[in-house]
Amino acid sequence: MADSPRVLVLNGPNLNMLGKREPEVYGHTTLADVDARCASVGESLGLAVTCRQSNHEGELVGWIQEAREQQDGLVINAGAYTHTSLALHDALRASDLPVVEVHLSNIHRREDFRRHSYVALAAVGMICGLGPLGYELALQALAERFRSAAAGTP
């Protein structure tokens, strides 16, 4: 892991609608705002951050497969696929990367079918309900993890 650790920030279906879709649930920040904020926070944390969004399960699976060789960590808000995509789960497990799962809303307080997360079964941890700030905290968590690993601290 030479130079800056690389982190892929992945957003799933309908997150491109952020700021337009049900703002009373998801707020007014757009995905572009989130991406910009991730880049800037990443920079301040010494991370090389890349952001991507797709509505296609297969495309997300492909990006995670590539990340295996090209990235050092993953922040993922898989949207609805969180709850239905075993394929994403398998890709995350196969990636051997530390994954931090993010959700804008607190999925534990919504419909029953949003309580189970396939992503969580392949992730180090989850941050939910804290809005766009969740992405920043996830980047901090990865940065901290890279720092400990570099320092040989378990």
Kindly state the tokens that stand for 21: 């879709």
Does 149 sit near its own copies (CB under 8 A)? no
**x-or-dash string of contact with its own copies, 76-105, rule CB under 8 A:** ---xxx-xxxxx-xxx-xx-----x-----
- Count of alpha carbons within 13 Å of 138, Cβ hemisphere only? 34
Q: By CB under 8 A, which span of 1-9, 33-41, 43-51, 75-83 interacts with its own copies?
A: 75-83
Give 3 or 151: the residue with its C-beta nearer to its own copies. 151
User: Footprint of its own copies on residues 13-72 (CB under 8 A)?
Assistant: 13-14, 16-17, 20-22, 27-28, 54-59, 61-62, 65, 68
DSSP-assigned letters across all residues of 36-79: HHHHHHHHHHT-EEEEEE-S-HHHHHHHHHHHHHH-SEEEEE-T
